[in-house]
Structure 1
Amino acid sequence: MRRIAFISDIHSNLEALDSVMKDVEKQSIDEIYCLGDLVGYGPNPNEVVETIRAMNIITVMGNYDDAIGYEKDSCGCAYNPGRETEVGDESISWTIKNTTVENKEFLKKLPHKLSLDIEGVKILLVHGSPINYLIEYVKPSTSAERLRVLVKNVEEDIIINGHTHLIMAKHIYGKTILNPGSVGRTKDGQPGATYLILNVDNGVYWYEFRFVEYDIKTTVEKIIKTGLPIELATVLALGQTFDMGPSKEEKPELKEIPGFKI
């Protein structure tokens, strides 16, 4: 039997990554794979990339990896107009400036997809979807009709993707679609980190999702100290995104984070 861990959407959150790796060490894991978005939003892009490189964790490219590696103006995310778009733009700009050339080269070389064969079970790894590898959101709310379109030409038995930051398991048209959620920026309302373990035994597979607590306070303090938008810290404290409202020029500056003293 093989036990494989899948992590995703670390987003420069070193405290979350370290805590997840400590939990992985206790689970008798044979291999670790990452579904992308190593960088963006958080305060430690270089340390996260260097941890992934040092541990030889095979990773597919996420939209943020693409944007930072190629120094793009946008990550292609579905931001709401107003302050949320501003925060995304500020995150992109800060991360580009604070990621080394060497780490950007690593991000640029990440594959868009990867196919595995583990004990007779075929697995497709992408960040977004089997059709749009980088930016399509495959959510728990995605319609059965769209899921059918996404899986109909997939040869693999299992599709594992990230991007949404939401844990998901769907079974449709003989395929299984799994999402490990997010290590560094959960959106399900529970502050912490999540990842996926897939067990494979001679063609039979089953899976489990794990939730891991980490030192959110330290990450929040780093975000504030580095000058990243305070809203990014609020998302971590809430464990979900929130309505950031109009642009900064049209509203008072956010000065409080729920549950934290600044």
Structure 2
Amino acid sequence: MRIVFFSDIHGNLEALEAVLKDIESQNIERIYCLGDLVGYGPQPQEVVQRIRDLKIPTIMGNYDDAIGYEKKSCGCAYNPGRETEVGDESLNWSITNTSAAAKEFLRSLPHTLEFEEEGVKFLLVHGSPVDHLLEYIRPDTSSERLQKVLERVKADVVVNGHTHLPMVRWAMGKLVFNDGSVGRPKDGNPKACYLIIDVVQQSISYEFRRVEYDVKSTVEKITEVGLPAELGLVLVLGKGYEMGQSKSKNTIDFKI
């Protein structure tokens, strides 16, 4: 079974379309989206509609929650000052420029998805198994904390998003993946990122795919709609306020 996981599109339709085109060439059997369709980018409405049209199983991210319910905060770990101002401005703009139908769809998204393939149990969350929307599980999250959030998880593989940093870690006899970000990478690589996991007779192989897209077009749209220029700079640099790295491809013999 060849499965795709992607998340954190953040209103970046150019990046989403590039990823969808790349997926078509990968002989994929199932696709899942781990949330944050909206926020930051200039086309939240179009991204929501694209995911709806394709009927991709999707879980809720913190931005989907904040915009769907028209909240005053996304719950992000912003630094005080300009970073907070940009985040708040982006959130308010996205609320204004997302239809009632799109907000209803965002509110309808589940917080988790679970399934089993080839005897391997998967759990999908945006943040962590403990705090589905807001907790960041990063490459540098302590082993003690990782063990704590996994202690009641029955799945063999956990896939999350939220940090925008592609990652794979092993703890408590489980694999923990972060699928990176389609529309707002933060690992120093501006290319869109998504994750492929192959499961064959309880053996797992994985690949983080990096896909070029028209960053310039998205930056121009950010300017045209009046969003802060800093949002475009993050896309050009491929990093925000955090950095991380991960291997691009590997195989793990994972026997239950």
Give the shorter-chain TM-score range.
over 0.9
Query: Displacement of 1:242 after TM fit?
Result: 4.7
Task: Give aligned-pair identity as a percent.
Answer: 62
Query: Displacement of 1:203 after TM fit?
Result: 2.1
Corresponding residue number in structure 1 for 2:171: 172
| Distance in structure 2 (CA, Å) of the matches to 1:237 and 1:171 | 32
1:132-156, Cα deviation, whole Å (9 max, x unpaired): 0000000000000000001111000
> Partner letter of residue 151 of structure 1?
L
1:189 aligns with 2:188: yes
1:80-130, Cα deviation, whole Å (9 max, x unpaired): 000000000000100000000000000000000111111211000000000
Corresponding residue number in structure 2 for 1:127: 126
1:82–1:126 CA distance, 2 compared to 1 (3 A): same
Unpaired segments ≥5 residues, structure 1: 244-262
> Partner letter of residue 208 of structure 2?
F
Q: Is the 8 A contact 1:235 1:242 kept in 2?
A: no
State the superposition RMSD in angstroms.
0.9
| Distance in structure 2 (CA, Å) of the matches to 1:44 and 1:118 | 34
Q: Is the 8 A contact 1:196 1:208 kept in 2?
A: yes
> Partner letter of residue 121 of structure 2?
K
1:105-144 → structure 2 map (5 Å cutoff): 105-144=104-143
Corresponding residue number in structure 2 for 1:20: 19
| Distance in structure 1 (CA, Å) of the matches to 2:195 and 2:106 | 23
The runs of 4+ residues in structure 1 deviating greater than 3 Å are none
| Distance in structure 2 (CA, Å) of the matches to 1:65 and 1:12 | 11
| Distance in structure 2 (CA, Å) of the matches to 1:165 and 1:39 | 14
| Distance in structure 1 (CA, Å) of the matches to 2:51 and 2:65 | 16
1:22-60, Cα deviation, whole Å (9 max, x unpaired): 000000000110110000000000110111011111011
Higher Cα Rg: structure 1 or 2?
1
Structure 1 SS opposite 2:36: coil
Structure 2 SS opposite 1:51: helix
Structure 1 SS opposite 2:168: strand
User: How high is the TM-score relative to the length of structure 2?
Assistant: 0.93
User: How high is the TM-score relative to the length of structure 1?
Assistant: 0.91
